[in-house]
Structure 1
């Protein structure tokens, strides 16, 4: 399980494109992808495995959380565990595309049950610094990414069995968003959605619509035939089913916010105006508070109980 890095974003993009092209041509292994959709948070989690070796990665898992009672359960994660065990898969990686604001990560629970290294982008440190202050997390909360086993940089590469994988830093929704390219499959997190729904919001702390535009154009520079597995779907108007798989080509041709020909100014104007109309995600406070800790709940207080903080009039 090796990791290497390159400092050039152009080189990183070329590397990712070459990986996809070689997988499509049959020179490299193509992954098997099994997706699990959590309708409560509209989140798609993905299990990606190498059919030759059965080594696998889990991307963007969900810890079930009831905001009214403050209770957590593991039904969604247990469904993934059952599939992994049924297929005889060996988990090498637990991959997070970013510190989600709409669901809690089940990565620590999955790691306990299945093993694997927990990874996220290095800019999680920026997120920890920003939200560590918001939640007054105290000096005991390390703001150095040490809650994760691996912090990926733009252009890093790694393996899942015989599968070759690469990392692209795609900020804008948050500072820390990553896209994982695994064979001919692309996992862009929240950066982009199904063509009929558009793109991610950019109004969270550290978000930036200009950076989001450039990240999307970078992703859409990948080969058109690449499979795209999204992190969310919200059923656009007129569509009755949840869908989370498309292609780079379909996004370039049909994405309602970011198809080929949309200028940066037009995109930023649209995104800024649209974001003003959006409510904050219902699970923003618990999600970020937990996910900035690598999916771990805050430490118990002196009475043995863990607490989620809700800052008043602060966001």
Structure 2
């Protein structure tokens, strides 16, 4: 089957969220939603999520899944906000527990922070399948960027999160805790083993040098032929060297500190204090 895919681009974080609809019904999934966050003021906003909700409601869609490709370090998830308004189960990879353990320590969360993935409705493992109406989705575990990264293969479309970008931009960084260039290379091979005509939808786009417009849809065949980091049969050693040297030059994402604290909680804020106020922590010299 070929799902109907509607993209929502957030220019503040260069994130693309997707509504993925069963072509033979009204069921859909939402992939990698965005909660707007202004770091300077510490204020959230729901305009990006509201645009997705409006689309769902205007088209009388039934949201069955709110799918997270991984714990994002560059934007906050709006999954619980959307769930409260239009439903759906929140899913992520079962290796979220590794991420929670790692960053639970970084942010000194203490024993009250559950590290068992129980904040999510569904923890997927390699080989799992799920349904969106009459359309089947399959789960590939594609770690390397983070331990919990998943690719959702839904009909003839694959939603790869940050694992791959557009062919002219390359691949994900691997220098976050739990990341691995070797692991990422092997994960990418799993994606490239899908049929060449498989549509690939990426999680971000930053407009590669020389390209004037944002883009987010490509194919397995195009990635194999043209991806600047892994295309044309580049071998593992070459990739690891490139990725390691490139990652050493990259700054931390602007929103990594709030994003990790919220997203490892399935998009929920930390528990409020006795006055109902919510606080995020800034670890010093930890990232």
Q: For this structure pair, what is the TM-score category when the shorter chain's length is used for normalisation?
A: over 0.9
Q: Distance in 2 between matches of 1:294 and 1:232?
A: 20
Match for residue 45 of structure 1? 17
Match for residue 172 of structure 1? 144
Question: Number of aligned pairs?
Answer: 287
Q: Deviations over 1:176-229 (max 9, x none)?
A: 000000000000110000000000000000000000000011110100000011
Deviation for aligned residue 1:304: 1.9
Q: Deviations over 1:105-160 (max 9, x none)?
A: 00000000000100000000000000001101111110000000000000001110
Q: Secondary structure at the match of 1:84?
A: helix
Match for residue 63 of structure 2? 91
Residues 1:63 and 2:39 are matched in the alignment: no
- Residue ranges of structure 2 left out of the alignment (5+ in a row): none
Match for residue 142 of structure 1? 114
Using the size of structure 2 for normalisation, the TM-score is: 0.99
Residues 1:276 and 2:244 are matched in the alignment: no
Q: Secondary structure at the match of 1:137?
A: coil
Deviates more, 1:238-247 or 1:298-307: 298-307
Match for residue 153 of structure 2? 181
Match for residue 25 of structure 1? none
Match for residue 173 of structure 2? 201
Q: Distance in 2 between matches of 1:123 and 1:260?
A: 31
Match for residue 78 of structure 1? 50
Q: Following superposition, which runs of at least 4 residues in structure 1 exceed 2 angstroms of deviation?
A: none
Please give the root-mean-square deviation of Cα atoms over the aligned residues, in Å: 0.6
Deviation for aligned residue 1:303: 2.9
Deviation for aligned residue 1:51: 2.4
Q: Deviations over 1:58-113 (max 9, x none)?
A: 00000000000000010000000110011110000000000000000000000000
Match for residue 310 of structure 1? 282
